[in-house]
Structures are given as structure tokens and as C-alpha cells.
Amino acid sequence: MTARVKCTEVKGFVKGRRDLIEDEAFLPYKGQIKAVVFDIDGTLTDSIGQIVDCTKRTFDAYNLPYPQDEAIVGMIGKRLNEGIESILPPFIKDRFEEITQTYREIFQAHDEIKNAVLFPQVEELLASLKEQGYKIGYASGKSTVGVLRTLETTALGNFCDALCAGDEVPSKPNPLMMIEVARRLNLKPHEILGVGDAGMDIEMYHNASCVSCAVETGVWSGEAMEQLKPHLLVPKVSLIKNYLCA
């Protein structure tokens, strides 16, 4: 593989085509994959709109002007308090922990925001991966409580062999999250296919020496993901079945 581009070097990541497929770089790695580890928001769950909505309600609570939607989307995948701090106006950044707590309270109070919705065919994909003998894990910037809530209220919990949440390790793209998931799966990082929708996911997989798959259903467009040189690039997560279950 050629030199990797860092996600911080990619501009205009939200806009662009979301129908790209690139798979040639993945084929040599297919035989070594023993587990698939997924990001959650934007990868398995259609949660981007819910996060934007909750963020705007939080800003309303403090009479703050809304950030641009792209800025809100860009914080997804980070620890929540770090993400909130990154989009606050400078004069109120020192209150980011308080505002993060308000976000959590608003999230908990509204079912239309907190109830996770899986993308189509996600459950079928996970069932097929299990049938083929792959282990399944989750690596999310959400808190442990948030990840467990999603697993308990969707079919994701039926397939979980290991997970690592954002409050356990440094934020993505630090590789420790994937290294810890690999340890919990009793596998080496290079035996794992990491799947995510944001640049920090793909960079984390590369930093941890995992095989990477980018999907185009969440934060980043396919054109932006293409610049990060993932091993596999597909429009939606369910298409992974064509590569690992065929």
C-alpha cells in the first residue's frame, strides 16, 4: 500500500459521491480475517440525524447559535465531551462538561432521539458472518452505557463477542481501542476487519494494523474516504456480505 493520508488532511469530507466501490486492495487480506469489528453510529445505526437534532436542542438550552451541521457531524466518533467542546463557541468552552451532561439528559428524555435504528439488512449481515465463523465486535466512541443500551435495544447484542467503548481508552484515531478489542477477541489486530463511516475510524484501523473497510452511510463521503486508502470501500455495510460470506 502507498503512504496513508491522515483524516485531518482531507477537506470537504461530508460532500461527495457515496456510491463508490473499491475492493482490489482487500482481496489479498481476505483469507486472514477472523473477526469483523464495527463502529456503531453511521455504520450500523442510522443515527446521524438524531445526533444533529440532540445537539441543536442542547444549544437551544443555552441560547447558543447552532454550529453548521457539518461541524456537528464531524464530532461523531469522538468521546461526547470532546466532541461537544470542539463545537462550542470560545466564550463557553470551559462549560463543556456541564453542556455535555445537558446533552445526555436531553438524549435520555426523547425516545425519537435515543432509540437506535439499524440500517437495512444489518441483522442479516451479522447472522451471515456468524454462520461463516467470524467473531463480531464493536468499537465505538460512545460511552459504555451508550453502547450497551444500543446492544440491548437492537439485534446487535445477539452477535457481540467483544466491545470497547470511548470511555475506556483514548479517543479515535488512537489505536488502543482496536488493540483492546483484539485482546478481548483473543486475536491479532491484522486478523480483524475494522468497519467505520468516518476518517477517524479508518485512521484508527490503520494505526492498529487492522484491515480497514469504509462505508459511505455516515459522516464521510466515498470520495473523502477514498483519499484515506481503506482496503475496502463500499456504499453500505450490508455489502460486506459479498466479500466475506460469498
User: Is the confidence at residue 11, as pLDDT, over 70?
Assistant: no
pLDDT tier at 6 (50, 70, 90 boundaries)? confident
| Gap between the Cα atoms of 183 and 54, Å rounded | 34
Reported as a single tens digit per residue, the pLDDT across 78-128 is 788 999 999 999 999 999 999 999 999 999 899 888 788 899 999 999 999
- 71 has a pLDDT exceeding 70: yes
pLDDT of residue 135: 98
1 confidence band (pLDDT: 50, 70, 90): very low
Provide mean pLDDT across the span 32-51.
93
Reported as a single tens digit per residue, the pLDDT across 192-234 is 999 999 999 999 999 999 999 999 998 799 999 999 999 999 9
Residue 236 has pLDDT above 70, yes or no: yes
What per-residue confidence (pLDDT) applies to 3? 66
Domains of the chain: 7-46+116-244 (3.40.50.1000), 48-114 (1.10.150)
Which region, left, alpha or beta, applies to residue 129 given φ > 0 means left and ψ of -120 to 50 means alpha?
A: alpha
22/76: higher pLDDT: 22
The Cα–Cα gap between 228 and 206 comes to 10
Half-sphere exposure of 104 (CA within 13 A, CB side): 14
Q: Which residues lie across from 45 on neighbouring strands? A: 41, 118
Residue 141 DSSP symbol: S
Number of CB atoms found within 10 A of residue 160's CB: 16
Residue 16: per-residue pLDDT: 85
